[in-house]
Chain A
Amino acid sequence: MWIDRLLQGLLDTLLMVGVSSLVALLVGVPMAVLLVTSDKGGIFEAPALNRVLGAIVNLFRSIPFLILMVALIPFTRLVVGTTYGVWAAVVPLTIAATPFFARIAEVSLREVDHGLIEAAQAMGCRRWHIVWHVLLPEALPGIVGGFTITLVTLINSSAMAGAIGAGGLGDIAYRYGYQRFDSQIMLTVIVMLVVLVAVIQVGGDRLAKGLNKR
């Protein structure tokens, strides 16, 4: 039944987006903290490290996802043992999403008023106290907003992953809708995607707003 197929597609999309965004969150936040704090005048000032990290982030961000996905095939095989299916898509999705999210989180962290860091130093905070008690909580609404954008971007990219047989809603829309001219399925998929994106966006916005006490 094509209803089953749609549900399976939705599940695949959620799995791909969920896993890759989770990894992007766990790696991207520390990466963003490192980008901010290792910069000149930062609390863990290390200009050489900062430049290297910045260059890596820029490199991965400048490669279009479709090309990144193909270029990463050998690496993907190394990591998950296959180049086909949902898990094969998770690898390039994660590698594309992490630097993307790290840059957005970096902007929020940079916006934290320097006076707050100074106040924290003056009250006897150690540097990691400043990261944990000042930088992250103050930037949290922005980081949540950035994560929402990352999720939506990932849904978009995961459709492209259909090209390597990843499955998911994008794949179904492409195969049934575009290749077989089944506009009913295509429309259904589009509606599902719109609803999915809307739920994520509204949820993310609400959460960010709730966290923002300014």
Chain B
Amino acid sequence: MSQARALKAPTAHSTPALATEQVLRPEVNQAHVRFIGLGKTYPGQAQPALHGIDLNIRRGEIFGIIGRSGAGKSSLLRTINRLEQPSQGRVLIDQVDIAPFDENQLVALRRRIGMIFQHFNLMSAKTVWQNVELPLKVAGVGKPERQRKVRELLELVGLTDKHHVYPAQLSGGQKQRVGIARALVHDPEILLCDEATSALDPETTASILELLRDINARLGLTVVLITHEMAVIRDICHRVVVLERGAVVEQGEVWQVFGAPRHDVTRTLLAPLQARLPASLQGSLRASPSSQSAAVVLRLQLVGEPQLSELFTDLGGTVRLLQGGIETIGEHALGQLILAVRGSPLGTAQLLERARRWAADVEVLGHVD
């Protein structure tokens, strides 16, 4: 047990050395979790829940899996700690295929992988302290060490005054903090988050995401999270994969996927985060220009900080800004502009083409008089 260096990246474990020993001393820079041709079909279902998944999750990153409900996110996440058994393909953790693991190896594996849940899944008959202590207890860790570890983790998640309270008396955010403490109690190298903030209000969501980001940075563990909310991906993920009907439709750095979504599903998922026209203008938007003097309304997704004056000159005519903003994802500035271009010598198609020189993604929203 790595008593002396609690809360550092784990170098040793309480579990005896098994065939997984090589797993504990991996080469750096290799994929931490790797899916190869992964597929899953549930008995009695014609459509596979997952098929042909090839992915690499890097050590120390926060990796997001997003998709609509039923896209297979949950199944994919659960193949990492084998709560879900793949039907085809392989899952490698530190280059080791986990498919042939027996119960002993699985138990050892799961102690290296923490997991938190949408509905927290805390034991209602146990106090906060006992909940966090349980993984250590079943691993046969001695009492002094358990006490030290539980105290330390409850402090990390900010629940020092709730040791002997039952989960029913906690708020949602506090329950998830207990869940996080419980998941980290074995100093795992991977943390799986199953819709960890979906049952929380926005403010609590922000604080839990902040905690996850902090844990990722301080402990250096790899975080894999699934969500249906793009805002969660934007706020903490480094890379993201978009799933649709059990297959990967898009993946990459979060700022790239956000800045230039290529797949319709991604666009749909991004829609709630996009700049919208003011409601008053929304009503007067037409699909085709009603007259020569009508203005074209464009939405531009910008990456970086573009020279707006040059962009405007390029578009020609008078350009009015209807809506706009810049947000920073990682170190990348992503801008969104909604512009009304009136009196440009260019036709709509040309205008679109011209705007594409500047923007990662352009869309014609319509025309206004």
Contact = CB atoms under 8 A, between A and B. Distances in A.
- Highest count of chain B CB atoms <10 Å: which of A121, A127, A137, A213: A213
Interface residues of A, number: 22
A133 B115 contact: no
B135 A137 contact: no
B124 A122 contact: no
Interface string A5-34: 000000000000000000000000000000
Given A122-B113, A133-B138, A138 B124 contact: yes
Contacts, number: 71
A127 B107 CA distance: 10
- Contact size range, B: 20 to 34
- Highest count of chain A CB atoms <10 Å: which of B114, B124, B166, B192: B124
A121 B121 contact: no
A125 interface: yes
Contacts of B186: 123-124
B137 interface: yes
Interface string B180-194: 001100100000100
Interface string A95-118: 000000000000000000101101
Contact of A213 (B113, B124, B138): B124
A125 B110 CA distance: 9
A213 B110 contact: no
A138 B123 contact: yes
Interface in B87-138: 103, 107-108, 110-111, 113-115, 117, 119, 121-126, 134-135, 137-138
Contact of A126 (B103, B113, B117): B103
B123 A116 contact: yes
B36 interface: no
B139 interface: yes
B124 A133 contact: no
A127 B104 CA distance: 11
A207 interface: no
A129 B121 contact: no
Contacts of A122: 81, 83, 110, 113-115, 192
A119 B117 contact: yes
B23 interface: no
B258 to A, nearest CB: 30
Given A122-B83, A133-B134, A138 B110 contact: no
Main SS of the interface on chain A? helix
- Highest count of chain A CB atoms <10 Å: which of B83, B114, B123, B167: B123
A138 B166 CA distance: 13
Contacts of B139: 124
B113 A129 contact: no
B333 interface: no
B134 A123 contact: yes
B121 A125 contact: no
B121 A124 contact: no
Given A115-B121, A138-B125, A214-B124, A124 B135 contact: yes
A134 interface: yes
A126 B138 contact: yes
A125 to B, nearest CB: 5
21 contacts: A115-B119, A116-B122, A116-B123, A118-B117, A118-B121, A119-B117, A122-B114, A122-B115, A123-B111, A123-B114, A123-B183, A123-B186, A124-B110, A124-B139, A124-B186, A125-B138, A126-B107, A133-B123, A133-B138, A140-B125, A214-B168
Which 6 residue pairs are nearest across A and B when measured between Cβ atoms? A119-B121, A122-B115, A123-B135, A124-B111, A213-B166, A124-B110
